[in-house]
Amino acid sequence: MATAPVITGAPARAPCSTLASTEPHPVLGEIARFLAATGCTASRFGVEALGDPNLVRELRQGRDMRRATLARIRRYIAEGDA
């Protein structure tokens, strides 16, 4: 009786695109200036801008984002500067 072949492991996958970049995101400079000007903490900024307390930390670690997310961040900064 023949036996079915044994699969030893799943094929390798590319790293998750949300944390794939090795360079910090350019918007980090804008966020840093906003934080310095307002005294807001990084986690509070993330919560108020996107509902994500880890946003700034993950951007510093290379997190990538969609254009719509970037637009929301920039809109939040612009409204805070007004």
Contact 70, 30 (CB under 8 A): no
Q: What are the structure tokens assigned to 50, written together? A: 């996107």
In a domain, 5, yes or no: no
DSSP state letters, 7-27: P--PPP-PPPGGG--SSPPTH
Q: What are the structure tokens assigned to 73, written together? A: 């961040």
The pLDDT value recorded for residue 9 is: 58
pLDDT in tens, 33-78: 999 999 999 999 999 999 999 999 999 998 889 999 999 999 999 9
In a domain, 6, yes or no: no
Confidence (pTM): 0.69
Give me the torsion for CA of 52, 56, 57, 62, rounded to 10°: 110
Task: Give the count of domains, the chain.
Answer: 1
Give the amino acid at 41. T
Compare 25 and 50 and report the one with higher pLDDT. Answer: 50
Q: Which domain holds residue 65?
A: 19-81
In a domain, 14, yes or no: no
Contact 36, 76 (CB under 8 A): no
